[in-house]
A = this chain, B = another copy of it.
Amino acid sequence: MNDTKLIDIASALGISVTTVSKALKGYTDISKATRARVIEMAETMNYIPNSVAVNLRTNETKTIGVIIPATVHHFFSSVLNGILEEAEKRGYLVIILQSNEKYELEKKQLALLIQKRVDGVLMSLSNETDDFTHINEAIRKNTPVVLFDKIAKRVDCSKVVINDAKAAYDAVTYLINKGFKKIAHFRGSYVPQNSIDRFLGYKRALEAHGIEYDSKLVYVCDNNTDFEDGYENAQKIMTENPDIDAIFAITDLVAIGIIKYFNEAGIKTPEQVAVFGFSNWFMSTVISPKLTTIDQPGFEMGHQAVSLLIDEIVDIKEHRPVTHQIIELPTRIIERESTVK
């Protein structure tokens, strides 16, 4: 019922709590004999150290905080998976918070994590976030932060990302090489770097291959909870620009919406209009035709982010200089049915 404490072991053995503590922690100024007695007694009394007391004394919690915009997205689930696995391997627990893409919430949650004295925090920014003082503040207060996926270039910290611009460039180049001429882009909202970079990649690929960029072929899909946005914009583009032959969508979700509309409207994919997604969500193999997309290594991203963060935590603890790294994970094109005639 009541937890046994150091003092219980000490009085059971007729020695001091100091000796017990040292014996359990392997200090060398305790004789082998008493160390053995302590360890055995701890065993039989089922001693479990009180982490809260340890935290207070050592000033570390062996806990990291994670703030993500949403958990019910396949990509973030994968990242979370990687985070949990790597954190556990390195002996850290993880507290999850969800910003729901709201800047104010993200800010409050970061403050909460710092107050809880987590040893570091991992974040992927909300779509609304365009002020980064809360993050800089955290770093200034010696709580290391590493950003992943949705990052801010202007924040000075470690990051793990993919090269969105390059991935998008590759995707569009792929479409061009496949012979598609009039390629539209369904982009995301204007704030997040992801959305901007993918758009820029799209634009540069066109220009690099002598295709004139046409802003009328760019549609904005800023709702990322369902595929309605893709569906509706697909409908719209086919009345406004019926002669397109391919769409590069910012995300698989949008692409799915497009394909669903095409299927219902009798528009053949990829014969009349090809569709290219982004992220390689699970459902991209479920839809028919299966979706060509960019593989975004979420699990690996979670792994690396935790690794970077914990390295930084111990660097700080040992008073070594911290160096910020930016890890760029490779992406690759997954070719499926939606782009091959």
Say which one of A48-56, A148-156, A159-167, A185-193 lies at the interface with B: A48-56
A51: B residues at CB distance < 8 A? 115-117
A140-B1 in contact given A81-B71, A94-B95, A96-B96 (Cβ < 8 Å): yes
Flag if B93 contacts A94 (CB, 8 Å): no
Flag if B81 contacts A72 (CB, 8 Å): yes
Number of identical protomers: 2
Say which one of A22-30, A194-202, A281-289, A315-323 lies at the interface with B: A281-289
CA distance A115 to B47 in the complex (A): 10
Flag if A96 contacts B116 (CB, 8 Å): no
| B-contacting residues, A85-129, CB 8 Å | 85, 88, 93-98, 112, 114-117
CA distance A117 to B7 in the complex (A): 19
Interface size on A, residues (CB 8 A): 45
A134 vs chain B, min Cβ distance (A) = 14
Name A76's closest neighbour in chain B (CB-CB): B77
A3: B residues at CB distance < 8 A? 141
A112-B93 in contact given A1-B142, A56-B53, A72-B81 (Cβ < 8 Å): yes
A93-B81 in contact given A141-B1, A283-B282, A287-B287 (Cβ < 8 Å): no
A256-B48 in contact given A84-B71, A84-B98, A95-B94 (Cβ < 8 Å): no
From B112, B117, B263, contact of A52 by CB (8 A)? B117
Flag if B84 contacts A97 (CB, 8 Å): yes
Interface centre among A61, A98, A114, A282 (most CB of B within 10 A): A282
Is A233 an interface position by the 8 A CB rule? no
Is A78 an interface position by the 8 A CB rule? yes
A263: B residues at CB distance < 8 A? 288
- B-binding residues in A (CB < 8 A): 1, 3, 48-53, 55-56, 61, 63, 71-72, 74, 77-78, 80-81, 84-85, 88, 93-98, 112, 114-117, 140-142, 227, 256, 260, 263, 282-283, 286-288
